[in-house]
Amino acid sequence: MAHFAELKQKKDPSGFTEDLHWVVERVIVVDNKHVSADEALDGENWCSTFFGGGTWKQTSYNSSFRKMYAGIGHIYDQAKNKFLIQQPFASWSLDSNDDWQAPVTTQLTQQIKKLVGMKKIKNGLQKIQKKIIIIGTHQVYLGCPHRRTLNAKY
């Protein structure tokens, strides 16, 4: 089965700019008999004809092309031919892998690496490695897969 995302051109949904973006409205599944190959135009044309118009792009359920599987609200970047998540904060920028990165100073990054090292926290009987999300200038949130967070200020 092939998956296709319907795109609508809208003002930056994050609200950080006035730029126009192709935003994913919905994702559908199409029988492979309507698609000759991955990223082939015949599948996009079939979707447009069947649904009475619109702009369609094929998306990969296993992320084998166009970076990631499209989700509602994701952005399609025509120049890069990739689906991306919306910019989370105005100060964040895309890295060389087209992932959003927070503006973190080198000094703070080094401090975090030193503090975390190879420490582990215990969650029941299972030990997990700490996951770090930088929220503010000196606040580090250490979280576990169950979304419980411990606030550590350094």
- What is the chain's pLDDT, residue by residue, as a tens digit (154 residues)? 999 999 999 998 888 888 899 999 999 999 999 998 888 899 999 999 999 999 999 999 888 899 999 999 999 999 999 999 998 888 888 999 999 888 875 666 666 666 665 443 333 333 434 444 444 444 444 444 444 444 444 3
**Are 42 and 35 a contacting pair, CB within 8 Å?**
yes
Domain coordinates in residue numbering, the chain: 2-100, 104-153
- What are the start-end ranges of the H helices in 80-122? 106-116
Q: Assign residue 148 a region: left if phi > 0, alpha if psi is -120 to 50, beta otherwise?
A: beta
